[in-house]
Amino acid sequence: MNKKEISESIAAVSNYLYEKGLVPGKSGNISCKFSENGVKKVAITPSGVSLKSVTPEEIVIVDMDGNKIDEVMNQNNKRDKMPSSEVFMHLKVYKNRNDVKSVVHTHSPIATGFAFAGVEIKRLEGFGPIENTVIPLVDYAAPGTMDLAENVAKGMEKEDIVSLKNHGIVACGENLDEAALLTEFVEESAKIQFVTSLISAN
């Protein structure tokens, strides 16, 4: 896929995840790694824009150090968007995992509730091969910091999905659909675990 097609996919998945309630308000960010003329680049959602309405033209292209290279030029020739404030979290995951081509970060309410409570979410069927029976919790660091980027990258060395204490969820995959699907699965798992705990309590 070229960067135009990638930007279109990122915008479509952004809008979809918002509709699903997984990235409320201006939360969440999505990226894809790709190669252009042999140079590795990352396309990522912009900061300060709700994924509800983000368009392909607003997707920002950065190099592997997070420097903005380009936006896909919009019709008004505007290039005013900056990459998501979590860009370094995405880049660190790509640097650690050569197999990863997409990273999706959500604040889905039930899974994030578990993250705030410090309770691990159990994996349900659908996650594929299981090494851990629970989704690992990554230590808290302030959003947008290198500390958070380091913690997440370390937590994802052997995991495709982690829960960030007091924050949200990060998933990765070989492609965008795979990573996005994992964020849906984790919310579903958290929901079922929550309902199960209520029923079992009586």
Annotated catalytic residues are 86
- Decide: residue 61, CB within 10 A, 0-12 exposed, 13-18 middle, 19+ buried: buried
Question: 59 with 71: CB under 8 angstroms?
Answer: yes
Which residue lies nearer to Zn ion by CB, 183 or 193?
183
Q: Which stretch binds Zn ion (CB under 5 A): 38-46, 49-57, 87-95, 161-169?
A: 161-169
Token code pair at residue 55: 């368009």
Show the site string, 82-121: x = touches Zn ion by CB under 5 A, - = not: ----------------------------------------
Residues forming a β-bridge with 171: 104, 161
Number of residues that bind Zn ion (CB under 5 A): 1
**Shortest Å distance, C-beta 45 to Zn ion:** 12
Which residue lies nearer to Zn ion by CB, 70 or 159?
159
Provide the residue type at 98 as one letter: N
Residues 164-183 that bind Zn ion (CB under 5 A): 168
Token code pair at residue 90: 């995405």
**Shortest Å distance, C-beta 61 to Zn ion:** 21
Distance CA 168, CA 116 (A): 8
**Shortest Å distance, C-beta 199 to Zn ion:** 31
If phi > 0 it is left, if psi is from -120 to 50 it is alpha, else beta; for residue 116 that is: alpha
Which has the closest alpha carbon to 87: 153, 149, 137, 36?
149
3-state secondary structure at position 190? helix
Residues 130-159 that bind Zn ion (CB under 5 A): none
Which residue lies nearer to Zn ion by CB, 155 or 168?
168
**Shortest Å distance, C-beta 179 to Zn ion:** 15
Please give the residue ranges that form the binding site for Zn ion (CB under 5 A).
168
